[in-house]
Structure 1
Amino acid sequence: MPVAQTENLNILAVDDMPSPEQIKALVPLTDKAAASVLAGRRALMDILDRKDKRLFVVVGPCSIHDPVAGLDYARRLRALADEVAETMVLVMRVYFEKPRTSTGWKGYINDPYMNDSFRIDEGMEKARRFLLDVAETGLPIATEALDPIAPQFYGDLISWTAIGARTSESQTHREMASGLSTPVGFKNATDGDMDVAVNAIISAASPHSFLGVSGQGQSAILRTRGNKYGHAVLRGGGGRPNYDTVSISLAEQALVKAKLPVNIVVDCSHANSWKKPELQPLVMKDVVHQVREGNRSVVGLMIESNLEAGNQPIPADLSLLKYGCSVTDACVGWDTTVDMIKRADAELREALALRERTE
């Protein structure tokens, strides 16, 4: 009697995927890009270690869908980064993976042609190529780690990694973060719970062993040393923002109680701005004011920004897409971005000089 089939009952197909090494061979790391990545990581680690008194600002589109517009943004940001280099390290937000509550476009890697063809193999190569182009401008790059295998394909081009509010509590993502080569920011939970981020930082700092893939694409046991550069990202939640002085003080107390470095990044978007991009400048202004008033725990900020303000639905005819406008969360436009960062630069000069003298 034949054995009954008990697996793959809901799998329609299994398509081959190039290995990380094959993708890297198609889009190899250059000396110029590697120097940019390492310089970015070093600057961020120095900020977290309090060797560098500047703030870092993760700024860029909610998601990348058009590499031409994305590179246009990167070149503008590169020029702006030079202007404010005394007070801030600008890190370009390059997010390819979009977590979904139910359904929707899952991002450039998953569906690069935005037509439900799901050419993940091509999306991964395109994503790596875009990261290489951005790194070669000299900008450090930030991304969100959602798929636990994806960093094997492009982690060598990343300087800062976020673990999102939905995944900070995930053991899989905490284990992955323990092996990443970048500083990692853990967001508080969507309900505002700070303990999730604190526990994630503790977990990621410890060694782990877990299932993954090797550079050759084979199943492997990955063994990590632990990542000591985990830190908290406040993004609001539970129906309220958490960038105010009281919320930041409570976050500081939670980190001290856990015997962790008191390093906090404030996300100006998401629940902190009630998902209204026009409120992001007010959030940033408030946090910069706290730094001016003597706050020592805030080391960074996050801004969702694009060439054009707002967002747009994905049309059936992709030629109708508006250039430089988000297809996921709404963003502030480029002019507003420049204004936000230049205002912060002017206000931070005196405050950071005071940090230098008093620490």
Structure 2
Amino acid sequence: MGMKLNKELPLPANLKNEYPLSREIISLKERRDREIRDIFTGKSDKFVVVVGPCSADNEDSVCEYLSRLSRVNEKLSERLMIIPRVYTNKPRTTGEGYKGMLHQPQPDKAPDLLAGIIAIRRLHIRAIEVSGMTCADEMLYPENRSYLDDLLSYEAIGARSVENQQHRLTASGMDIPVGMKNPTSGDFVVMLNSVIAAQKSHNFIYRGCDVTTGGNDLAHVILRGGVDKYGTCIPNYHYEDLVRLLEMYEKLDLQNRAVIVDANHSNSNKKYKEQIRIVSEVLHSRGYNPELKRLIKGVMIESYLEEGNQPIGERHVYGKSITDPCLGWDDTERLLYKIAENC
């Protein structure tokens, strides 16, 4: 095989023993998980906001961002369920570029996966400690989620992974909400098929074991826009798109119908400031149509300390994205208050 074995990585159970959770974190996660479940099952009318950097590239700047977010959460928690976006795995369309903290704990240094799995566990623990909130991450590698499964309260499956069998089956064994993004083509059928698969029980191989899952009744969809065959972005957050999704959902025998609208990516054509307008339009659609209000459970926003993005290099700006461009903090804070007023 054309594959070189670099080093054997520790089992998730061993890493968890080395970096254990406090009783306070365990209790906090149980409470947050219950609150989030109540939103997706319709028992609570809080509005979900998954918000944070495109990529969690630096522990200190991410935690500074989360400490600011925590202060806003204290004032808005009656209306919003803020779930910090702490994405430590990054998909790359061509396989090139920064793949996240899991691969490169230091973005300007060579990949080190052993250091990476330690770094992402330490980051998520510290994130909870500084913010009092459990977080979201992307399930890029299904078998790697075992390093973080006791910490996360929300997971997303990306546009490039949503058709993958192992992602779908692994999602069926999770006990937290998992959002299935529409593929890069924008296809709703593929996205909904993923939800169908994730809500069912399956028997398959996971981390070398024969496992059976119970099905995840909190699996739902995330609209992130699509790209046509010419490379043109096609948004899918407009009222007509949401009604079409509702009609398709109603024809399926699925539990806890829900959608999160991703305001960036192909919905904004990566024009990060457009997220403010897009969120406002989604809230308007939700307020106009009672059925959409029940369906649309929240939004996803890419945001960091500093707006925009930057290349990896010597002139590094602290708290500025090194992947997709993000809203800056001031715009984010204003937007969160606006969401709380209008959701």
Shorter chain as denominator, the TM-score bin is over 0.9
- Give aligned pairs, total: 332
The one-character-per-residue Cα deviations of 1:8-47 (angstroms, maximum 9, x if unpaired) are 2x11234111111121122101111112222222111111
- Paired residue for 1:22? 14
Instruction: Return the index of the structure with the highest Cα Rg.
Output: 1
> What is the alpha-carbon distance in structure 2 between the residues aligned to residue 164 and residue 251 of structure 1?
18
- Paired residue for 1:107? 100
- Paired residue for 1:264? 259
- Which of 50, 54, 73 is the matching residue for 1:58? 50
Give the aligned residue type for 1:272: N
> What is the alpha-carbon distance in structure 2 between the residues aligned to residue 53 and residue 64 of structure 1?
29
> What is the alpha-carbon distance in structure 1 between the residues aligned to residue 240 and residue 50 of structure 2?
23
Contact 1:90/1:140 (<8 A) preserved: no
> What is the alpha-carbon distance in structure 2 between the residues aligned to residue 115 and residue 324 of structure 1?
15
Deviation at 1:114, TM superposition (A): 2.2
- Which of 194, 212, 216 is the matching residue for 1:227? 216
Deviation at 1:209, TM superposition (A): 2.0
> What is the alpha-carbon distance in structure 2 between the residues aligned to residue 135 and residue 180 of structure 1?
20
TM-score by length of 2: 0.94
> What is the alpha-carbon distance in structure 1 between the residues aligned to residue 109 and residue 58 of structure 2?
16
Contact 1:60/1:92 (<8 A) preserved: yes
- Paired residue for 1:41? 33
- Paired residue for 1:3? none
Q: Residues 61-210 of structure 1: matches in 2 within 5 Å?
A: 61-102=53-94, 103-115=96-108, 117-136=110-129, 137-210=131-204
Q: Residues 323-338 of structure 1: matches in 2 within 5 Å?
A: 323-338=318-333
The one-character-per-residue Cα deviations of 1:88-122 (angstroms, maximum 9, x if unpaired) are 10000010111111111111011112245221111
> What is the alpha-carbon distance in structure 1 between the residues aligned to residue 137 and residue 326 of structure 2?
16
TM-score by length of 1: 0.90
The one-character-per-residue Cα deviations of 1:160-182 (angstroms, maximum 9, x if unpaired) are 01011111111110011011221
Give the aligned residue type for 1:309: E
SS at match of 1:233: strand
> What is the alpha-carbon distance in structure 1 between the residues aligned to residue 122 and residue 165 of structure 2?
30
SS at match of 2:320: coil
Query: Quick one: percent identity of the two aligned structures?
Result: 34
> What is the alpha-carbon distance in structure 1 between the residues aligned to residue 322 and residue 61 of structure 2?
13
> What is the alpha-carbon distance in structure 2 between the residues aligned to residue 285 and residue 231 of structure 1?
22
> What is the alpha-carbon distance in structure 1 between the residues aligned to residue 210 and residue 98 of structure 2?
31
Contact 1:189/1:237 (<8 A) preserved: yes
Give the aligned residue type for 1:42: R
SS at match of 1:196: helix
SS at match of 1:13: coil
Give the aligned residue type for 1:176: T
> What is the alpha-carbon distance in structure 2 between the residues aligned to residue 310 and residue 223 of structure 1?
44
> What is the alpha-carbon distance in structure 2 between the residues aligned to residue 329 and residue 31 of structure 1?
36
1:344 and 2:339 correspond: yes
SS at match of 2:172: helix
**Structure 2: gaps of 5 or more residues:** 228-232
Contact 2:117/2:147 (<8 A) preserved: yes
1:287 and 2:276 correspond: no
- Paired residue for 2:302? 304
Extract structure 1 runs of 4+ deviating beyond 6 A: none
Contact 1:38/1:159 (<8 A) preserved: no
SS at match of 2:111: coil
Give the aligned residue type for 2:69: L
